[in-house]
Amino acid sequence: MHDFIANADGFREAGARVLFVYPGPSDDLQSRAEEFVADKTFPAHFTMLLDPKFSFTNLYGVRWNEGQQTAYPSTFLIDEDGKIFFAKISDGVRNRTEAVEMIKLLDEH
């Protein structure tokens, strides 16, 4: 998330909105999400969406039910017609998508 916030201008210039999905069980999800973003400032074109009961996470097949994990780090680029034109699902906490990679793909699309 820090990488995406640090590159917020690139997303804005590409005309993109950034949506972070925060999954978890319904109990205390709101308070846990607030704690997670407490030290972060979201630009106007960034939004965090809560995913209680893992509805989105399960729908997209990115549920990672191991240890303290909730979902595989995943990045999707969706065009104006609602079609996914890029998807990357990391197999762990490493190998996450970098913001500059997404901005480049947005500029090319």
Query: Looking at residue 11, what is its pLDDT?
Result: 95
CA distance 82 to 71: 22
Phi, psi of 89 (to 5 degrees): -115, 115
pTM over 0.85: no
CA distance 45 to 22: 17
Query: Looking at residue 100, what is its pLDDT?
Result: 96
Which helix or strand (DSSP H or E) is residue 47 part of? strand 46-52
Q: How confident is the model at residue 107 (pLDDT cuts 50, 70, 90)?
A: very high
Q: What tens digit of pLDDT does each residue of 6-41 get?
A: 999 999 999 999 999 999 888 888 898 888 888 888
- DSSP characters for 35-83? HHTTT----TTEEEEEEETTHHHHHTT-B--STT--B--EEEEE-TTS-
Q: What tens digit of pLDDT does each residue of 77-101 get?
A: 998 898 999 999 988 777 888 999 9
Query: Looking at residue 3, what is its pLDDT?
Result: 92
Query: Looking at residue 5, what is its pLDDT?
Result: 92
Domain residue extents for the chain: 2-108
Query: Looking at residue 93, what is its pLDDT?
Result: 72
What DSSP character marks residue 66?
S
Beta bridge partners of 19: 47
Mean pLDDT of 59-79: 89
Q: For domain 2-108, which architecture applies? A: 3-Layer(aba) Sandwich (3.40)
Token pair 């965090």: residue: 48
3-state secondary structure of 89: strand
